[in-house]
Structure 1
Amino acid sequence: MSLPSALSDDNDPHPRVTLDSRGISIGPMTMMCFACLQILKRFPSPEKQHVKGLNYEAVIPVRFPSPAWIKTTEYTALQPQIHNDDDNDVNCAFFSLNLSIYNQEVIPFDWDDTWFFLSGQVHPYALTWEVDADDDTEPNSEVFNYTIAPFMVRDWGYQPISPRTLNFDSIFHIIPPIVTFTGSVVGSGHTLLRNDPPSGLSETQQKCCGFVQLSTFITPGNLTRPPYRRSHQFQAFVIFPIHVNPWMIRCKKMIERPNTQFQPNTLFHCTGRLAGLLDHRIMVYPPNLAQDYVFIIVPENWDFFSKSSRNTTSTTSPITTPTKQSSADPRSKFMSPSKRKHDSLSDPELPKTSPDSGTSVTISSGMK
């Protein structure tokens, strides 16, 4: 079952439905990818950290190719149609990379414009942090909402890559990120993809795809400011492209089944490749924000398990358009003025219990 998100408060620009992690059979998503780092920023104190224990941050673009099958007629509606001067065969997603770099000197020359192999937890939906206009300003300085999807890398989960070819940059544009996760199935494409506008998928293909509910537990450096300490949920779209090999052969039994294996509350484990970003317009329950990334995942290895005893929860909120600012700081286009000031910051709300499911559901005043 799914629960609609609560009505938003006028002072809450980015409402979310969040879950108490106890008893919920949904987990995080791990991502491995290549990315080029720029303008690595050190947090001046632990309270300023976006995620507790991660003391450096940078905005990174993660570029990855569109597989040939996703550009065929049946699958073209999956991805949003973006017309720009960039390579149409390469997707790009921006993340706030948060790193733990301790007991070593950070020399900008060794980091800026350097390619790294990264491995850590990713939260594809944008979260909102309240940040000061300048980390060194007085307590009454202006506050901004910094809204972006976080990527958290710990314990040396980053390694610089030494170029050995003249065409170094283009090589990493054709290597898709690898993700792994275990989550609770929300439903199949039959019920969760819209027919107006049409997804374009055949009846059989809609049976062989679905949405999986996942969550990320985040503890911010300052517990009294958004996104607050708790689990924040998101969904991923899993698809077996059954009209192309090797999935035409590997998924033969799945195709012949009378019913879909993407039954609600079934646990699904997967290691797969990121094939693109799903167009929100074809989702029956789109995420809150336009900058929320719904990953299109193509499994390499997978398992369906018995149904979970708990109901999963999905959010239903209108898509909003992010506010952009122009500045040399790469974070600026992910920021908007906050309506709250330092002297009006309050403690986070306590979890409330839903009478329908018995699950602790908390409405956050920001994101985690």
Structure 2
Amino acid sequence: MRIMIKGASFCLLFFLSSFVIGLDAVQANPNYRDALAKSLFFFQGQRSGRLPKTQQITWRSNSGLSDGLLAHVDLTGGYYDAGDNVKFNFPMAFTTTMLSWGALEYGKKMGPQIQEARAAIRWATDYFLKCATVTPGKLYVGVGDPNVDHKCWERPEDMDTVRSVYSVSPSNPGSDVAGETAAALAAASMVFRKVDPKYSRLLLKTAKNVMQFAMQYRGAYSDSLGSAVCPFYCSYSGYKDELLWGAAWLLRATNDVSYFNFLKSLGADDGTDIFSWDNKYAGARVLLSRRALLNNDKNFDSFKQQAEDFMCRILPNSPYTSTQYTQGGLMYKLPESNLQYVTSITFLLTTYSKYMSATKHTFNCGSLLVTSSSLRNLAKKQASN
């Protein structure tokens, strides 16, 4: 039986929006702790490669053990996308970044599930390390021919479709997928900083190298790889948002001022009312606004203002809202896989609410006063829907 979900990353983000808003209420309705556990459990069903003895989903077994063979490298591991047997690194890396962000912001409330979250993150980052280091000058960004795979209904243990290998390089750049991979590695390096310092250092070193590649060789991976990623995971928003996102995570992980200087030079001022595997502007701004709010660093006020502009476009009673809602109160962004946008935006609502609450910060959308409770209540409504 295939899991028919458009992009594993979208389904898995549900746990982010569920655990951040009330894990302390274990018996609450809805039960966020139970939702978190089950959402993390889903990762095990998506694993590719040689499965560990700790694997709990026993109807899954080893698969994709020859991944990378066509390029004479080892690219085993990582996650399959949705109910398919393709490994699309672009959305997989976004999932990993968000998992790491969730663990960094809310890990103390996750109880024993933090171990499962780390395991889910590491399954991806072990794979990304291979993709970024096995061949100097190349970043591998996917395995499996999607055009063939999507026509073939078979479980990964039995797949007999070609395991094509895709990469970006200086002559065929992919700043978007490289920037997202760097973000995933940098964010994960902080998750493992105390529990596995050696692994954390390796992740951060690799993140810096991949980010340098993304910045130096500009271009969209959609242009380089064509039908290998389009129309499945084209970079519709371009690559500037991933450069912003990757640099924001490297800045948080390193405090290296060169990343701040790069951020300022990007001129990434596009307004948005979306946050997804493709468009990272809003996420980067919320992440960067953390310094403005928690550290009172005026250098980051512009990012705070952009984050609040995003919130004003989301709040239903804001005079600047550009977000539709169903009669039941659920956000409606796009007709295909709408919940992916609901869950990712909800994560930003709860996280910015957390920053606001810590500093007793409020802001205005025109005449509407927005408090941390305003964002939190909207987030709770999305989770209950």
**As a proportion of its length, which structure holds more helix?**
2
Higher relative contact order (CA 8 A, sep 6+): 1
Q: After TM superposition, is the score higher than 0.5?
A: no
TM-score (structure 2 length as normaliser) = 0.25
**As a proportion of its length, which structure holds more strand?**
1
TM-score (structure 1 length as normaliser) = 0.26
